[in-house]
Chains A and B, each alone.
Chain A
Amino acid sequence: MLYKFSIIPKYLFTIFLSIGFHQCFSQKYDAELINRQTIIEASDGKLVETNFFEIQINNRSGDKYTEISIPFNKLNKVSDIDASISDNYGIEVKKLKKSDIIVKSENSAISFFDDNYVKEFTLRNNTYPYTLKYSYRVEASQFIFIAGWSPVIDTDIPTRESTLNLSVPSGYQINYNCNLVDQPKIDSIPGVTYYSWHASYKNPLKPETYSPALKQFLPSVVIVPKHFTSELIDGSTESWEAYGNWNQLLMNGLDDLPLAEKNKIHALTDSIKDEKEKIRMLFHYLQDATRYILVSIKTSGHKPYPASYVAENKYGDCKALANYFKSCLSKINIKAYYTTINADDVIDPIIKSFPSPQFNHAILFIPLKQDTLWVDCTSNLAFGYLGTFTQNRLALVMDFNSSSLIKTPALSFEELLESRNIKVKLNINKTIQADFMNTYHGDKYELFSYVLTELSESERAQYIRKKIAETGLQMDSYSIVAPERDKPEINLKYTASSDQLLKEYGDESLLQIIPLDFKFLEEPKKRKLPVQVNYPVYLIDTIEYAIPDYYRINSVPKNATINSKYGEYQVDFMVKDQSVSAIKKVKINSGSYPLVEYQNFYNFILSMDESENSFYISLTNK
């Protein structure tokens, strides 16, 4: 025995109170970007960008902002890296040596191989504050973007002052989009036009629960040339049609399916009459035969690998697989449209007035006589199921001279339904056993399909035990039922037990109704961003409690209903002999609400959460 336990806490309580606590002071930032200057000279076939940064490091935690990493690749050459640090009095204490710079491949979680590299260095001082200044030059000959510029280098630290200066030959046309940045000052001398933007970032932001993409709240300027040449093809950003045409030209000749592959396609589909069924057959073939591997080399990132590459290797990234599948369909005279989209859980709206590459994913759009299909060729999910990553947003559907933005369909409540049937038994030793039979659609269908097909048995078990068990319950055994092909639904069965939910207090025992969990929400006074629910939430729980004969049921909770513009909540309890059942329904609408409404939205979720944690069945021993 090391200490007499019961003494310690009391002792600590008094000793630390008597020493007294310091009042917390709101801490200043670990680092601040004092100045960022970007100077760009752009002309046909040449882009030269000079960047200058001045970062003040305020404390030890801020040292991480001196770990500088400058990306480059074969198309964007980086040179003239210069850096130094100076102390609080402005005296230079150290300069970067060339040998301090390390070159290595950029770590990328998503690609198997990537020929993007970084030049890295760090400089530091041991007295605070100190200032790191660094600059470098980037040169490119092929480009679609002149700048994708923001004063923010890290959302956690503020930027005091930042400028972007652009000079272009007179007559060189550009398009730009300013987000939370004033329109530029424009000057010219004979032969050259100058643009100048100023911006700062005073109040650092963090992503919040149910908030729109943070990007929308950060100042930025994106500049594209009206006319450009990339991958040896002339392109334009004058309109979506024009930009789409460039993308279409890039894909010229990429539908080179080998003869064997063409024969295979015919063999699979010739006996099928219905067009949609033909597509389904080929989609199954695509799903079974290919896998997703991203190898990005030496390109602007817009040109897919040819169909022959996928036919040979049976792998590819989203562009390669979409182009391959489009080529397959064209062999049986079905027209599919190559479509780019911004895939993410959080819908980040496309700026319609700014034709430019605003996308990160490629899918296919296939209009049929009766039906319209959207096909994600990287998907292992049901045929025609688009998913939470691509639903309900504008996508650029490409065709010669008629490319346009078309909205993907939104997922409905039913398509997101998460229902659980739970049967609960009470054991004599005060533990309970709950048998779950859960049916998932929507995001959880996507998740568990991934967990089922991509994780090994032991990884899957660890994942499910960690993520699924409800408050107070421990999972004993589980099974995922492989979904029926093309049915966007997956079942998870498991048994869990708990010594937490049934508690004895003298003669009385309280049985807590298994609560629903809601996402953590920031308190209203701390909330900075508006609300965006990207897709609806729909939960139905049916719980049946078999109460043993040795108990008398004293009371069951009252039914509860909440209705709000943000959704609905209803819980009904029923008692029949020795059984109690609870049926719960939760609907949270998708939608966007301004910050002033956050309190109401918060109250809606909070009142459901409080209600969920207040349901007890009271039992007494007979």
Chain B
Amino acid sequence: MKSLLVLLILFLGSVLQVNAQDYFKDFGKLSPEQLKMTSSSFDLTADAVVLFDVGKSRFVRTEYGFDVLFERVTGIKILNEAGKKYAEVSIPFYQEGTIQEKVEVTKAVTYTIVDGTLKNTILLNPKTCYEEKTSENWKALKFAMPDVQPGSIIEYKYTVLSQYHFNLRDWEFQWDIPVLYSGYEVRMIPFYEYTWAVQGRTSLDEYTKHEDKLGLEQEFFGAKFNDVVYKFGLKNIPAFVDEEYTPSREDDIIKIDFQLSAFYHLNGAKIKIMTTWPELVNDYLKNEDIGRYIKKSKNNADKVLDPDSLAGRTQFQVFNYIVNYAKDNFKWNHENSQFANKSPADLQKDKIGNSAALNLWVVGALQQAGIESYPLAISTRKHGKIHTDYPFSSAFNSVVAYAVVDGKPILVDATDPYCPNTRLSIQCMNDKGLLIDKDNMKWISLQSPSVSTLSTSIKIDSIGKDQHATVIETALDYEALYYKNRYANDKDLILTDLSKKMYQVDESSLKFRYDLDRSHPYSYLYRLSNKSEIINSKIYVQPFLREVFHENPLTQKTRTYPVDITYPVIRTYRSEIVIPEGYKIEFIPGNSSLSDELFDLEYSVMQNSNNVIVSLSYSFKKSVYPPEEYARVKTMFDRIVKKGSEKIVLVLK
């Protein structure tokens, strides 16, 4: 877990070192160090270096109130060919309803530098700035800096004028390349109060606060005030590196987030936006697209649910009927939100909705059927973890249903139709969620309550020039979910995957057990033949064929982020090898076992008169392994690969 630094705006922190340079005024002043630079002092592999990246947000008066003006100036030194891509800039902005953001590139220059000397200065041609519509409400202003060579420095500044006050523009200190200085200045006015949180660092190199008495005193409907200026800065920030099996960039990048926590009326009344989690719960319950949506869902469910399927059934049957109804009838539009994107009536009509529309409908329907149920606000894996000491609704990006059935709590997500009704889908399994219950607000763990198992049974029953085997693969819980989502009843896809293992599969032998009952396992059976491995007239039999990992999936030497394997797993293999007529065993591998707080592994060989039974089981006991445990996880995989490929040697009697 990365540390989190939370500062409240009312908190008068000690004044730290101030970076006195004004990067906006100094645009175009290149220092000898910048001209001569050929690499980053703290990252020799860097393709480019951010020399400075400075932002400012302030409130500007408009006819009706205030807009927020964001200004930014950035300078980048390009070090090699691969670094040229940092000379392509894209500035996202939002336009919808009353919010019509405007972007203006005020100046952008490429400085050509050869052997530490400035050779040429080229201005960006405004005609080469383009506006792209990236989605319904988002646009991006894009430009590529001209004449960029290794050694060049590019500088650009732009402004974004926004009517959006709820979140001030956040600031990412960290880039994919090293940053020498990154600073953000926010000029506050007395009408808005913000809370902010710094992620990825426990302290800042620069943090100051002062009232701008030198600036013009401002007036708004008779109230006189000066801006209060906050500055945040960091120096020498290493490049952000994406690693394999990392759930969320959002969790790890060094940044500062701002949230409106209150605003003041001119009469002095304070309107709190957010102070505590319980208040958030209350707001949610009153919200049109959460609490009220649930109420409407109750009515809607009353109309559509079949009374015969509800009456005289056990609570669990009713629960299943309702969740099945939602999964069978509504499709998820692949958007996550805490707020339903349409009314329950429209959901019935359109058959498609966002995560809140589906799951809050389930909450309403369960309540209507007399089952205790609440919304559970969550943050999905891609959205990052929730910081419980930072109570804002933006901590969440989705909602699932929490139900109490026969006295036991069950978490439900209707977005994945194959998911067992008593399980969350994979994307929801991220740390914890907030129970939206007025009387009993609490945090609920979203980790998988059970261990998923995947078992392979093999019988190698005929060994000659070729060997023949029957294989049964059985998956339970999340492992079953994986197979259902991948294969469903697509026989061809199963066969294609098997042929990639270089198996010769008898197609007519492939049978699978798969039905719509979401709690059932997924399993399939097939017969295959392979060439036997015969060396110097000895037969080498690989008991587990090509079923076990034959390469370590972790290739990095070290790691800075946790390894996230999503849910705990037990994997078991069992192989029975029938010894062919005229042969005897020359060699069998030794037993092996390991058991500690992180993993279990057991490998055993049992020799009978005419057969050998080999078993391999292993389990990963945790869902997430911290970086300190990376080496052990990697070694564990090495061990699995090694034991999984052990062979038995048969010789002629």
Contact = CB atoms under 8 A, between A and B. Distances in A.
A44 interface: no
A12 B457 contact: yes
B249 interface: no
Contacts of B586: 505-506
Interface stretch (B195-203, B280-288, B568-576): B568-576
Contact of A12 (B47, B241, B455): B455
A474 B604 CA distance: 27
Given A22-B511, A27-B490, A315-B144, A2 B451 contact: yes
B587 interface: yes
Contacts of B130: 113, 115, 295, 297
Contact of A9 (B135, B455, B535, B649): B455
A8 B572 contact: yes
Q: How large is the interface on B (under 10, 10 to 19, 20 to 34, 35 or more residues)?
A: 35 or more
Interface in A1-29: 1-3, 5-6, 8-10, 12-13, 16-17, 19-27
Interface in B588-618: 595, 600, 602, 604, 615, 617
B555 A24 contact: no
Secondary structure dominating the interface of B: mixed
A113 B550 CA distance: 43
A12 B474 contact: yes
Contacts of A288: 149
Contact of B142 (A20, A113, A462): A113
B133 A117 contact: yes
Nearest to B511: A21
B352 interface: yes
A405 B239 CA distance: 50
Interface stretch (A102-110, A217-225, A361-369): A102-110
B500 interface: yes
B556 A465 contact: yes
Contacts of A124: 331, 350-352
A21 B88 contact: no
B144 A499 contact: no
A520 B457 contact: no
Nearest to A5: B617
B117 interface: no
B82 A454 contact: yes
A435 B551 CA distance: 19
A71 to B, nearest CB: 14
Contacts of A103: 133
A104 B500 contact: no
B397 to A, nearest CB: 21
Contacts of A17: 472, 525
A616 B535 contact: yes
Contact of A291 (B84, B330, B536): B84
Interface in B509-542: 510-514, 521, 523-525, 531, 533, 535-536, 540
A466 B148 contact: no
A294 B523 CA distance: 49
A345 B298 CA distance: 58
Interface string B473-501: 01000000000000011111000000110
A71 B146 CA distance: 30
Interface stretch (B59-67, B227-235, B640-648): B640-648
B132 A105 contact: yes
A9 B133 contact: no
Interface string B543-586: 00000001110011000000000000010111000000000001
B81 A380 contact: yes
Interface residues of A, number: 79
A312 B525 CA distance: 65
Contact of B176 (A113, A456, A610): A456
Contact of A456 (B82, B135, B451): B82
B499 A465 contact: no
Contacts of A3: 570
A505 B587 contact: yes
Contacts of A616: 535
B628 interface: no
B490 A458 contact: no
B146 A312 contact: yes
A610 B82 contact: no
B308 interface: no
Interface in B112-139: 122, 125, 128, 130, 132-136
Contact of B642 (A12, A115, A313, A499): A499
A490 B488 CA distance: 45
B136 to A, nearest CB: 5
23 contacts: A5-B615, A9-B457, A9-B573, A25-B491, A60-B417, A102-B136, A103-B133, A104-B136, A105-B133, A112-B144, A117-B133, A124-B331, A314-B147, A453-B80, A456-B176, A456-B177, A458-B241, A469-B551, A471-B550, A474-B551, A505-B649, A506-B587, A554-B536
Interface of A: 1-3, 5-6, 8-10, 12-13, 16-17, 19-27, 60-61, 63, 94, 102-105, 112-115, 117, 122, 124-126, 288-289, 291, 293, 295, 297, 312-315, 380, 453-458, 462, 465-466, 469, 471-472, 474-475, 499-500, 503, 505-506, 508, 510, 520, 522-523, 554-555, 610, 614, 616, 618
Given A5-B615, A8-B617, 20 more contacts: A3-B570, A9-B615, A13-B457, A13-B574, A17-B525, A24-B510, A27-B489, A102-B136, A103-B133, A124-B350, A295-B144, A315-B144, A454-B81, A462-B556, A474-B555, A499-B642, A505-B540, A506-B649, A508-B587, A523-B499
Q: Which 8 A-B pairs have the closest CB atoms?
A: A9-B574, A21-B511, A457-B45, A5-B617, A314-B147, A24-B491, A505-B587, A313-B146
